[in-house]
Structure 1
Amino acid sequence: MDVLKERLIKTLNLTKDFFNHISEEDLKLKISDVPSNTIGEQAYCIVGARESYLEALKIGEWAGFKCSLLESHNKPLIVSKLEETQSDIERFLQESSSEINMNLVMDLLEHEVQHHGQLIRYAYANKFAFPKSWNVRYTV
Structure 2
Amino acid sequence: MLNIILTNLENRFDVFNDILATVDDNDFHKKLDVPKNKSIAEHLWCVIGARQSFARAIQAGEWQGFECSLDTEAGPAAYKAALDKATAIFHRTVRDLDTWSDDREALLAQLYEHEVMHEGQLIRQVYGLGLSMPATSTWA
TM-score (norm 1): 0.90
- 1:104 corresponds to: 107
Counterpart secondary structure, 1:133:
coil
User: For 2:46, what is the secondary structure of its paired residue?
Assistant: helix
Deviations 1:78-131 (CA, angstroms, capped at 9, x unpaired) = 011111111221222222113341000000000011000000110121111112
> Retained in 2: the 8 A contact 1:5–1:93?
no
* Aligned equivalent of 1:64: 65
- Aligned counterparts of 2:78 and 2:50: Cα–Cα separation in 1: 16
Describe the superposition over 1:36-67 as per-residue Cα deviations: whole angstroms up to 9, x where unpaired: 12221111111111111111011111111101
Matching residue of 1:9: 10
1:41 aligns with 2:33: no
Unaligned runs of 5+ in 2: none
Map of 1:127 onto structure 2 = 130
Percent same amino acid at aligned positions?
26
Aligned residues: 137
2: CA distance, partners of 1:13 / 1:128:
18
Task: Give the SS at the match of 2:136.
Answer: helix
Q: TM-score, normalised by structure 2?
A: 0.90
2:130 partner letter: K
Deviation at 1:21, TM superposition (A): 1.4
Contact (CA 8 Å) 2:53, 2:66: kept in 1 or not? yes
Distance (Å, rounded) in 1 between the aligned partners of 2:90 and 2:106: 15
For the Cα contact (< 8 Å) 2:11–2:136, is it kept in 1? no
